[in-house]
């Protein structure tokens, strides 16, 4: 029994050391991926130089992430909490997925010649950004064994530089750009037509622009009720901003009220002139080229007719 206990203890020590060693490898791997942001920033969208080298680098990093995922699977150290271990495994899996998408982007980005190929690049970038965003969230919540005190691992620059590069690359194809802008306009038109069928006061968005640090939403209030509206009060605003199909920022349930709206009068089936709603301090640092705006829980007053 004593020998068996010693054997179990020895195996536990071995597992702890192996787990710690693999976690240190993970820290190194994440740091190396973090540093690829500089390589992306140095790329020129006007030439094909460096694409294949970066594609190979991402492919190799994806393979390493896969090896780490296998090595760490089911082998958490005795000192690791279940939550910490699950988050580390999540990071490794998402990192492998993100790196595979990045490799595909740079393997084929220079070959894009038609709309379908450009759509595929955009989809790959969307998937890359989704994985990167989830990793970024978890990195801020968990400390990986082997991560030095004060050492910060961040994929923010990686996301920013990839987005900036992809925007320039996709925008180079004038037909693709025109088709995407038309697609976003069609979506906006359909959304507004759908809103006009509601039996309530709705907001028909037309444009969203940055004004310094603020967002300026332009549109019209439309009266879908059978009664005359004589004033609009507070409301909640949801807004999502995109660069092509990649989400940049989302604001939900932004409480908005403007005393000037209390003077609006709307006949049944009528719309007010151009209205500007200012969201103070909500402009992102990045540029965006399409949006989705939803106003809900709009409060309004009606004028009731008194029968003589």
Domain boundary among 148, 172, 196: 172
pLDDT tens digits for range 273-288 = 889 999 999 999 888 9
pLDDT of residue 77: 57
Inter-residue contact 299 to 204 (CB < 8 Å)? no
Domain containing 194 equals: 180-303
- Are 148 and 217 contained in the same domain? no
Same-domain check for residues 225 and 100: no
- Given phi > 0 = left and psi -120 to 50 = alpha, else beta, which region is 244? left
Domain boundary among 172, 207, 227: 172
Please tell me whether residues 112 and 241 are part of one structural domain.
no
pLDDT tens for residues 80-119? 678 888 888 999 999 999 999 999 988 876 555 666 777 7
- For range 202-222, the mean pLDDT: 96
CATH of the domain at 243: 2.60.40
Mean pLDDT across the stretch 70-76? 77
Per-residue model confidence (pLDDT) at position 113: 60
**Per-residue confidence (pLDDT) for residue 9, from 0 to 100:** 36
Count of domains for the chain: 2
Asked whether residue 215 falls in the same domain as residue 264, the answer is yes
Structure-model confidence comparison of residues 55 and 204, the more confident one: 204
Among candidate residues 137, 172, 207, the one where a domain is terminated: 172
Same domain (yes/no): 19, 165: yes
175/256: higher pLDDT:
256
Q: Mark whether 118 and 192 lie in a shared domain.
A: no
pLDDT band, residue 75 (cuts 50/70/90): low
Whether residue 103 lies inside any domain: the answer is yes
pLDDT at 132: 94
* pLDDT at residue 211 is higher than 80: yes
pLDDT above 70: percentage of residues in the chain: 86
* Residue 291 located in a structural domain: yes
* 68 vs 173, higher pLDDT: 68
Q: Quick check: 5 pLDDT over 70?
A: no
Let me know: does 268 contact 196? Beta carbons within 8 Å.
no
Q: How far apart are CA 296 and CA 201, in angstroms?
A: 9
The yes-or-no verdict on residue 47 having pLDDT over 90 is no
Same structural domain for residues 281 and 245? Answer: yes
Burial letters 24-33, b for 16+ CB under 10 A, else e: ebbbebbeeb
Q: Is residue 253 part of a domain?
A: yes
Structure tokens at 212: 């310094």
82 domain-assigned: yes
Whether residues 150 and 190 share a domain: the answer is no
Is residue 138 over pLDDT 80? yes
Backbone phi, psi, residue 113, to 5° = -130, -20
**Which residues lie across from 201 on neighbouring strands?**
223
Contacts 24+ apart (CB under 8 A), 48-53: 48/110, 51/106, 51/107, 51/109, 51/110, 52/106, 52/107
The answer to whether residues 159 and 194 belong to one domain is no
Picking from 189, 199, 194, the residue whose alpha carbon sits closest to that of residue 223 is: 199
**Is the separation of the CB atoms in 64 and 29 below 8 Å?**
yes
**pLDDT exceeds 60 at position 129:** yes
Contact 62, 96 (CB under 8 A): yes
pLDDT, greater one: 216 or 307: 216
69 φ, ψ (degrees, to nearest 5): -60, -45
Q: 238 and 126: one domain?
A: no
CB 67 within 8 A of CB 187: no
pLDDT of residue 55: 87
- Backbone φ, ψ for residue 67 (5° rounding): -65, -40
Whether residues 44 and 159 fall in one domain = yes
pLDDT for residue 45 is more than 80: no
Asked if residue 308 is part of any domain, the answer here is: no
Nearest to 258 by CA among 211, 303, 210, 295: 295
Are residues 193 and 48 both part of a single domain? no
Query: In Å, how far are 75, 214, 277 from 210, measured between CA atoms?
Result: 50, 6, 12
Is the pLDDT confidence value at 4 over 70?
no
């Amino acid at each position: 029994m004593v020998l068996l206990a010693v054997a179990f203890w020895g195996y536990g020590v071995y597992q702890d050391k192996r787990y710690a060693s693999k976690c240190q490898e993970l820290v190194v791997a994440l740091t190396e991926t973090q540093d690829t942001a500089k390589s992306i920033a140095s790329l020129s969208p006007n030439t094909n130089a460096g694409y294949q080298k970066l594609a190979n680098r991402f492919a190799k990093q994806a393979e390493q992430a896969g090896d780490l995922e296998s090595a760490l699977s089911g082998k958490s150290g005795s000192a690791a909490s279940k939550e910490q271990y699950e988050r580390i495994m999540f990071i490794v899996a998402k990192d492998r997925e993100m790196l595979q998408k990045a490799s595909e982007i740079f393997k084929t980005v220079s070959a894009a010649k038609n709309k379908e190929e450009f759509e595929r690049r955009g989809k790959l970038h969307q998937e890359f950004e989704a994985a990167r965003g989830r990793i970024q969230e978890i990195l801020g919540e968990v400390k990986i064994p082997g991560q030095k005190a004060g050492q910060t691992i961040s994929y923010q620059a990686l996301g920013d530089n990839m987005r900036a590069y992809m925007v320039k690359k996709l925008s180079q194809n004038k037909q693709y750009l025109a088709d995407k802008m038309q697609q976003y306009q069609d979506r906006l038109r359909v959304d507004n037509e759908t809103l006009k069928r509601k039996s309530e006061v709705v907001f028909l968005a037309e444009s969203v622009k940055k004004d310094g640090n603020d967002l300026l939403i332009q549109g019209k209030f439309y009266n879908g009720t059978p009664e005359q509206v004589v004033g609009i009060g507070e409301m909640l605003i949801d807004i999502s901003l995109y660069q092509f199909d990649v989400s940049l920022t989302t604001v939900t349930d932004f409480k908005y009220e403007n005393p000037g709206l209390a003077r609006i009068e709307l006949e049944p089936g009528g719309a007010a002139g151009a209205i500007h709603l200012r969201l103070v301090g909500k402009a992102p640092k990045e540029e965006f080229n399409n949006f989705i705006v939803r106003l809900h829980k709009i409060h309004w007053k009606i004028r009731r007719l008194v029968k003589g």
